Amino acid sequence: MKPFKVALPGSIEQASSLQQSSDVPFIAGGTDLLARIKEYITTPEMVVDLKRIGGLGEITSTDHGVRIGALVTMNDVATNLQVKEGFAALAETIGNAATPQIRNMATIGGNICQKPRCWYLRHEGYSCAKNGGSGCWARDGENEFHAIFGNQVCAMTQPSNVAPVLVAYGASIEIQSSVESLEKREVPADQFFLTPEQDPTREVALKPGEIVTAVLLPAKNRTEKWSYTEAREKQSFDWAQASVTVLYQRGGRRGDHRVVLGAVSPAPLRRADLEQIIAAGELDADCIQALQKKIGEGSTPLSQNGYKVPMLRGLMAKAIRKLNGEKKEG
Amino acid sequence: MNKRADDSPEGVSRRHFLKGAGAAAAVVTVAKIPSVTEAGQEVSDDPVIVGPGSISIRLKINGEIREVEAPPSTTLLDLLREHHAMTGTKRVCDRGSCGACTVLLDGRTVDSCSMLAIDAMGREITTVEGIGTPENLTDLQKAFVEKDALQCGFCTPGMVVSCTALLNQNPTPDRDQIRQGIAGNICRCGTYQNIIEAVEHASRKGGK
């Protein structure tokens, strides 16, 4: 690892003004950035350590909902009572992510800003549309874990497990920057995660100097009936191959359902067509069949990841059975 | 300033070398580094910027305040092993996937390879050296011996730290909870079954 300077700002303003370009990364938990520095994928002269900034480490309940400070660790999010009560799918998705150690270190802000796990992007010998070159090596190369939807420009998958769940809950990402004279802006989660068509070089809607300060969960979307299902190769220290988040009657509103797919596209994929199927009838075998028929629609699998389509069908069925309280696995 | 211990000339023990290097480094003056536990309390006009050269890093390790000169880009793992010669904590994958470097930070397990040492300032660090001694093993460590919970032994310090944290939080874990507790620790010899039995054994004895 190449030694680097560490800036230790005490305020958002200081931290923001230290980052003039993406060559000066922010560090919080460190679990993603330090690995990339050790691999020489990024070799910063300086990193900006956010850990000494006050007010980012708490979960607070407001009239509008739950505010999770960006520096709250994944474990503290997953075990928080307010999160578990109203936004249980979020606790569930974190519950088994990575390893216990990582969940004690990694922060919610860092989790949603982590870099894609694409092995070409994480290899110093390749450049692509994401990092100054052009094209996508995975499209015609090794693409077992890559995207099956929206993969024309870049076949990355959004690596954050919580991203699709945040989209489903209609969460917002609170962002601050000294450039905008410290004015907070709130970006809805479905606009925070970018597609390569929007900008191949960025995965999230952060400009230089902008810092995620909190994740906001709206009280009006607290949901009692939900399910999160996920498939991955290993039980620990692995990323999802596909996930399905379903919120049934979101916020207690009849007809307001959310179906969001994860790990199959560069950004979380909300599927209004599947939500309509759920709204149209009962959560029965016919519904499962209709969802399974529809879920692969629009996918463009690559040479090695066609398995994700039947995987999604299986996860979708499991998600509906879970909504019905059936314990049967499969 | 502080050369890496690997660079030491032959015949000089690591411990002696480190002592010498520590004395030589003592003349360096450095800016006060705020600790993470003081977040937001005192904001100076300008942010403190340290490195890439060595600075003084003061940590509380196994109840003892210890100070050493090291670059701020040093991970907690490398600081423990190479600057404090505390080699119980193992360096294996160095990427947070294997758990051999597990230490406790304020009682919680973390991968010491994946965090900066300066981010542990102001917090209680417990390494395997702080959990029992060869003469006075903890109940869990005795159970590891009795139940043959190791083969090559390289994962053992990390396993012991993770299992200690598990029993502190939950003195009577069931098998699933034990599996969850060691989900971040890899044993390449595959001794998981005996490790689980050792934790159950220690739990029955009510020990830690």
Q: All domains of chain B, ordered by start, with CATH?
A: 5-130 (3.10.20.30), 139-204 (1.10.150.120)
- β-sheet with A242-248: strand ranges across: A225-231, A242-248, A258-262, A269-270
Structure tokens belonging to residue A38 = 């050790």
Inspect the interface and report whether the beta carbons of B46 and A14 lie closer than 8 Å. yes
- Nearest Cα neighbor of A287 from A251, A258, A319 is A319
What domains, with CATH codes, occur in chain A? Answer: 59-113+158-220 (3.30.465.10), 225-323 (3.30.390.50)
Residue in chain B nearest A104 by alpha carbon: B110
d(CA A275, CA A170): 15
* pLDDT recorded at residue A226: 97
Please name the residue that has the structure tokens 């919680």: B108
Inspect the interface and report whether the beta carbons of A46 and B49 lie closer than 8 Å. yes
A81 touches chain B (CB under 8 A): no
Among B69, B95, B119, B161, most A C-beta atoms within 10 A, so best to mutate, is: B119
d(CA A115, CA B39): 26
Which residue has better confidence, B4 or A318? A318
| Structure ipTM | 0.93
d(CA B143, CA B163): 11
Q: What is the mean pLDDT of chain A?
A: 94
**Average pLDDT score over residue span A36-44:** 93
pLDDT at B11 over 70: no
Q: Which amino acid is at A248?
A: Y
**What are the residues whose beta carbons fall under 8 Å from the beta carbon of B88, sequence distance 6 or more?**
B127, B128, B129, B157
d(CA A139, CA A122): 16
Instruction: Provide the shortest C-alpha distance from residue B91 to chain A (in Å).
Output: 14
- Do A165 and A228 form a contact (C-beta atoms < 8 A)? yes
Structure tokens belonging to residue A142 = 């090794």
**Average pLDDT score over residue span A211-239:** 94
- Do A291 and A278 form a contact (C-beta atoms < 8 A)? yes
The Cα diameter of chain B in Å comes to: 58
Structure tokens belonging to residue A48 = 């900006």
Inspect the interface and report whether the beta carbons of B96 and A102 lie closer than 8 Å. yes
Inspect the interface and report whether the beta carbons of A4 and B47 lie closer than 8 Å. no
**Average pLDDT score over residue span A207-233:** 96
Percent of chain A whose predicted confidence (pLDDT) is above 90: 87
**Average pLDDT score over residue span A209-233:** 96
If interface means Cβ-Cβ distance under 8 Å, which residues of chain B face chain A?
33-36, 38-44, 46-53, 71-73, 75, 94-97, 99, 102, 105, 108-111, 113-116, 118-119, 162, 180-181, 183-184
**Model confidence over A122-156: pLDDT tens digits?**
998 899 999 888 999 999 999 999 999 999 999 99
Q: Provide the CB-side half-sphere exposure for B46 (13 A, CA).
A: 5
- Do B31 and B56 form a contact (C-beta atoms < 8 A)? no
Residue in B47, B105, B111 nearest the CB of A102: B111
Q: Give the A:B interface size as CB pairs under 8 Å.
A: 134
Q: Which amino acid is at A228?
A: Y
Instruction: Provide the shortest C-alpha distance from residue A250 to chain B (in Å).
Output: 31
* pLDDT recorded at residue B131: 97
* pLDDT recorded at residue B1: 39
* pLDDT recorded at residue A124: 85
**Average pLDDT score over residue span A183-195:** 95
Among A52, A102, A103, A234, most B C-beta atoms within 10 A, so best to mutate, is: A52
- Do B11 and B29 form a contact (C-beta atoms < 8 A)? no
Residue in B34, B50, B53 nearest the CB of A10: B34
pLDDT at B5 over 70: no
Residue in B43, B114, B162 nearest the CB of A35: B114
Residue in chain B nearest A105 by alpha carbon: B110
A102 touches chain B (CB under 8 A): yes
Chain A from 54 to 73: CB within 8 A of any B CB: 54-57
pLDDT band at B31 (very low <50, low <70, confident <90, very high): low
Residue in chain A nearest B103 by alpha carbon: A101
pLDDT at A285 over 70: yes
B-chain residues near A35 (CB < 8 A): 95-96, 114
* pLDDT recorded at residue B42: 67
A255 touches chain B (CB under 8 A): no
Q: Provide the CB-side half-sphere exposure for A19 (13 A, CA).
A: 26
